[in-house]
Amino acid sequence: MSTLPVIGFVGTGKMGLPMTRNLLAAGYTVVAFNRSPESLAEAASAGATAATSLADVAAQADIILSSLTNQQSVRDVYLGNGGLIDNARPGQVLIDTSTNDIALMREIAELAVAKSASFLDSPVSGGVPGAVAASLTVMVGGDESVYNQVLPVLQVIGGNVHHLGPSGAGTAMKLVNQLLCGVNMAAVAEGLLFGASAGASPQKILEVISTSFGGSRMLDRGIPLIIERDFKPATPVDLIRKDLGIVMDAARDSGLPLGVTSAAFDLYDRTSNDGFGPNDMTAIVIPLEDGAGIKIS
């Protein structure tokens, strides 16, 4: 009978904790680490072994997944002194599920190979509900043989797992997704504002457009939240702002003009500066309403 690999999980926060729980439910031993004692305690109460450091995780785990909040956290965890690359062991597989810069993912992959380990950039889409339901879309870049090796683990956290090519390919696909989500939500907010100014009912806009060519998942998700003024943080403004910022930086580096994305980024940036950064991305409608003197309800 084959023995399941020991899984390390770094970053047991909103996304990481449900992924950890799903791995535990599938029978894996999980060694968890988080800088937040409260988050680590939650993972331990779910059945994970609490590690004392990144080195402790690396010493025990065959496969290490991470779910981190920003690129600086990824740099610290992977490239910092005493981080996962410093402590990587031959044959170990490192997998990051965060949204990052493509160049950073390739840098980590090269350093992992130098330690005779492997790294897969594997960002996910589906948010906390997808993490809880294990229905995340997982977009993987890296060596295909390594991908095949860890596929059973990825299938525990995601219902839609895709190998997309060499290092950076998974991240490139996630950035396309974030670009479309951010731009689409900005268009939904403007469409609602335009409709409201012309006397159209927001409820009727949802009913009619959701079955028309202008419909989208972001429209179906966003309009009810805007109508209900439900801006509790699910996918925060600041998260989309961060991801669109990564897209814009990469576009500038390659000389690629992204005018529509730039305009959407400016709206998220303005919304964040107005104090709504922690709120759900649908809160971008608020500065639009303020500017037009119209409130959608």
Enzyme catalytic residues: 174
Distance, in Å, from the CA atom of 14 to the CA atom of 187, rounded to the nearest integer, reads 28
Distance, in Å, from the CA atom of 24 to the CA atom of 116, rounded to the nearest integer, reads 28
Whose tokens are 């940036």? That residue is 269
Instruction: Name the nearest CA neighbour of 121 among 131, 130, 112, 129.
Output: 112
Instruction: Name the nearest CA neighbour of 34 among 63, 60, 54, 19.
Output: 54
CA 212 to chain centre: 29
Distance, in Å, from the CA atom of 61 to the CA atom of 64, rounded to the nearest integer, reads 6
E strand or H helix at 74? helix 71-79
Show the tokens assigned to 220. Answer: 């179906």
